[in-house]
Amino acid sequence: MRKELIEKFSAIKTPFYYYDLELLKQTLRAAKTEADKYQYHVHYALKANCDAQVLATVREHGYGADCVSGNEVKCALDNGFANTQVVFAGVGKTDDEINLALDNDIFCFNCESIPELEVINELAAVKNKTANIALRLNPNVDAYTHKYITTGLEENKFGINAHELDDIIDLLKKLLNLRLIGLHFHIGSQITDFNPFKKLCSKVNEFIHLFEQKGIQFEHINVGGGLGINYKEPDTQAIPDFKTYFAIFNELLELRKGQQLHFELGRALVANCGSLISRVIYVKKGINTNFAILDAGMTELIRPALYQAYHKIENLSSDDKRNVQRYDVVGPVCESSDCFGKAVYLPETKRGHMIAIRSAGAYGEVMASNYNLREKAIGVY
């Protein structure tokens, strides 16, 4: 990290999230440029990061919004995203959330079950409206990512399985306040191997064909998000390979004339622009290792505790490469899983040193909790 930043940070109470808005802009431009080549629509998945500055920056770059709760729909609208560019997914949409989305005439509900279709229809009828819906289908593609963040397998709670389709098509004929406009897919998160996306393309082709045989054509196909980032090298590969990613869909998807393709990217857009900045409270000698105990913990960034996620850890106060030691870098929270990294090699680390936990821009601040009655960490830009 740059020297002037470290000086700026020294006056700020830790822990806090630092968002590099310049890198965010570069990332947003890179993705937009590639998506625009094929006239693809990209919706930003708000659940990755809802910071107001981040949202403003995303919106200014021409992205739509992908929401998974009523409050996210409200947040997107409050932050200036156009209602006609809001999509709303989630397996457990409540009546209140559906009503909010209906009242705001969002672009599309991505629906995940038969009972959900029935409820949206009922609530839309009360308002004398017709809701645009897409069916979230389960393509049964393994994303080869952590089991807690894979979503496209039949055993997951997400999406509609292929054997239900005939029932759904029959049902939709009776649900007159729904307009079926598309298909939706989302196979998981932090996918760094492009093969699952290629498999997704062939599954989508099969589904488009299957529906056509039943006389149904779609205006919209939404292939979700999930593109991963490089947690190991947040500086040398700060921006994901959007070029290859979008080119795969362009090459392999057999879209019909006029069919619009939509994406929902979260992590790939915002992860690397964020760092969690903290200070070392104590260095404690253990039996086989030393513990660097930080003033940030799983309450600010739960990914390591929740899915053994790797985040690069840097000592911003020292770059003395001659005296490198091994540390378990842990937080102050009363849980053994409150650990950011085991056996991390850092320059000799002392009380008061400033530590950066990198790539914390996605699924960091949004997952914060006040467990142990900890205070909410602020965003700094």
Q: What residues make contact with ligand PLP under the rule CB under 6 A?
A: 45, 47-48, 66, 68, 89, 186, 189, 224-227, 264-268, 362
Give min distance, CB of 266 to ligand PLP, in A. Answer: 3
Nearer to ligand PLP, 112 or 328 (CB): 112
Neighbour tally for 127: CB within 10 Å: 12
Nearer to ligand PLP, 28 or 45 (CB): 45
Give min distance, CB of 356 to ligand PLP, in A. Answer: 22
Give min distance, CB of 151 to ligand PLP, in A. Answer: 7
**Exposure b/e, 280-297, CB count within 10 A at least 16 = b:** bbebeeeeeebbbbbbbb
Nearer to ligand PLP, 186 or 279 (CB): 186
Nearer to ligand PLP, 133 or 265 (CB): 265
Nearer to ligand PLP, 28 or 362 (CB): 362
Q: Which residues share a beta bridge with 357?
A: 276, 313
Nearer to ligand PLP, 4 or 155 (CB): 155
| CA 173 from centroid of its chain's CA atoms | 34
Cα separation values, 331 from 124, 132, 257, 368, Å: 48, 46, 54, 14
Nearer to ligand PLP, 191 or 356 (CB): 191
| CA pair distance 153, 151, nearest whole angstrom | 6
Give min distance, CB of 158 to ligand PLP, in A. Answer: 8
Q: Give the residue closest to ligand PLP by C-beta.
A: 266
Give min distance, CB of 251 to ligand PLP, in A. Answer: 21
| CA pair distance 265, 224, nearest whole angstrom | 7
Taking alpha carbons only, the member of 231, 264, 258, 235 closest to residue 31 is 264
Nearer to ligand PLP, 181 or 294 (CB): 181
Nearer to ligand PLP, 13 or 157 (CB): 157
The radius of gyration computed from the CA coordinates of the chain, to the nearest angstrom, equals 22
Nearer to ligand PLP, 331 or 361 (CB): 361
Taking alpha carbons only, the member of 59, 45, 51 closest to residue 380 is 51
Give min distance, CB of 48 to ligand PLP, in A. Answer: 5
DSSP 69: S
Give min distance, CB of 157 to ligand PLP, in A. Answer: 12
Give min distance, CB of 321 to ligand PLP, in A. Answer: 35
Give min distance, CB of 92 to ligand PLP, in A. Answer: 12
3-state percent breakdown (helix, strand, coil) of the chain, nearest 5: 35, 25, 40
Neighbour tally for 351: CB within 10 Å: 11
Q: Sign of the C-alpha dihedral, residues 284, 285, 287, 292?
A: positive
Give min distance, CB of 272 to ligand PLP, in A. Answer: 12
Q: What is the DSSP string of 204-245?
A: HHHHHHHHHHTT---SEEE----B---SS-TTTT-S--HHHH
* 363 Cβ contact list (under 8 Å, min separation 6): 47, 48, 49, 267, 271, 303
Where helices occur in the chain by DSSP H, the ranges are 3-9, 21-37, 52-60, 70-78, 95-103, 114-126, 165-174, 195-213, 242-252, 267-270, 303-307
Q: Sign of the C-alpha dihedral, residues 9, 330, 1, 312?
A: negative
